Amino acid sequence: MYCQNCGQEIDDKAVICVHCGVATGKPVPTADNTGKSWVAALLLCIFLGGFGAHRFYVGKTGSGITMLLITLLLGWVGIGIFICGVWVLVDLINICLNTFKTADGKPLQK
């Protein structure tokens, strides 16, 4: 393809023209850049994990709501605390091991 600014031939995958330095308008590849912070997810899981806060944060709204409902509806019964406790613990371990992914399967940013 050709640069829209200077007309020089540039690589098809170029994000910035090597001749004039002007952006080609192609979106910058954001391979693993989710913009979701690992630390934030960890803290949310520790402090608000029972309410599914860390799941809402990474975009897993469905399971976040499920977690919230289990806590709100069953939280006053022992079983709700147990289910969410185990679930939050599993999530916490996954976050610590960095295997907890965002809704679109990307890793969190350390």
| Nearest-angstrom CA–CA distance, 88 and 54 | 9
From 18-26, 39-47, 48-56, 73-81, give the range in contact with Zn ion by CB under 5 A: 18-26
Residue 5 is a binding residue for Zn ion (CB under 5 A): yes
C-alpha to C-alpha distances, 6 to 20, 22, 25, nearest whole angstrom: 7, 9, 14
Does 46 engage in binding with Zn ion (CB under 5 A)?
no
Residue 52 CA, chain-centre distance (Å), reads 14
- 6 or 39: whose CB is closer to Zn ion? 6
Any contact of residue 6 with Zn ion (CB under 5 A)? yes
Q: Copy the structure tokens of residue 38.
A: 């690992």
**Would you give the DSSP letter of residue 27?**
P
Task: Indicate whether 14 belongs to the interface with Zn ion (CB under 5 A).
Answer: no
> What is the phi/psi pair of residue 12, to 5°?
-60, -30
Nearer to Zn ion, 21 or 62 (CB): 21
**Interface with Zn ion: number of residues (CB under 5 A):** 6
Q: Which chain residues interact with Zn ion by CB under 5 A?
A: 3, 5-6, 17, 19-20
